[in-house]
Amino acid sequence: MICESCQIRSSIGFCASCKRMVCDGCAEVCDSCGKLSCKEHAYDGGGMVYCRACGEEAGARPRSREAAYVGREEEAPRVRRPYENPPAWLVAAVLAGLSAVFTGLLYVHPDLVRLPLPGGVSLPISLATPLVPLAAMGWAIGGLRETRVPRKPFVCLASLLVSIVAIAGAWAAFYRETFGG
C-alpha cells in the first residue's frame, strides 16, 4: 500500500483523524496514546505531539487549520446581532442622570413647572417628571436582580438614590409653584 500523503513509500498505518494511510516518514505518533496522525492532523503541545483526541484533552494547538475541524460538524459562524440589549445597570444610570437633569431644569427655569395650555389651563410638567426616575428605579431594581456577570450593584444603588432625590425634587418644585411655599 502506498502512503496517501507523500505517494512514495509504503504505509505503516492510518491517521486516527482522517483515516488516510501514512508511512513512517509522514506519520506523527501521539506521545500520549501512541496513535498515528498525518502531519495535517497532529497537535503540538509543550514539545509533545498529540493525536486529535489527546490534543483536545491536553489543550494543545493544532498544527494546521484543517486539524481543528476534522471529525466535527462545521459550526455556523457566530453572527453578532446589530442591536443587543444593554445591561440594566447602564440603562438605570442613564435614566437617573436624565431625571436629575430634568429636575434641575425645574429649579433653573421655574416656567417649566407648568405648561400653559389654551383656555387658561396649565399642565403641571413637574408631575410628569417623576416618570423618568420611576423608570430608572425599575431598571435599577432589575439590575440588582440580574444574574449575568457584568452586574454593577453600586451603580444600581446610586441610580436608586438619584431617582428618589429627583422624585422628591420634582414634587417640591410642584408644591412651591402651586402653593407658593
- Domain span at residue 18 reads 13-68
Q: What distance in Å separates the CA atoms of residue 16 and residue 39, rounded to the nearest whole number?
A: 11
Task: For residues 27-43, give the mean pLDDT.
Answer: 83
Q: Does residue 76 form part of some domain?
A: no
Query: Packing angle between helix 131-145 and helix 88-108, nearest 10 degrees?
Result: 160
How much is the pLDDT for 76? 46
pLDDT (tens digit per residue) in 85-128? 778 888 889 999 988 888 888 788 777 777 778 888 877 777 77
Close Cβ partners of 1 (under 8 Å, ≥ 6 residues apart):
10, 11, 21
Task: For residues 1-28, give the mean pLDDT.
Answer: 79
pLDDT (tens digit per residue) in 113-169? 777 788 888 777 777 778 888 899 998 888 888 765 456 888 889 999 999 999 898
Nearest residue to 159 via CA among 180, 179, 134: 134
In single-letter form, the type of residue at position 112 comes to L
How much is the pLDDT for 161? 93
Same domain, 108 and 136: yes
Domains of the chain: total: 2
Contact by Cβ (8 Å): 38, 22: yes
- Residue 4 phi/psi, 5-degree rounding, is -80, -10
Same domain, 110 and 160: yes
Q: Does residue 46 form part of some domain?
A: yes
How much is the pLDDT for 162? 92
Q: Does residue 78 form part of some domain?
A: no
Q: Does residue 24 form part of some domain?
A: yes
pLDDT (tens digit per residue) in 39-59? 788 887 777 888 888 887 777
Q: Does residue 63 form part of some domain?
A: yes
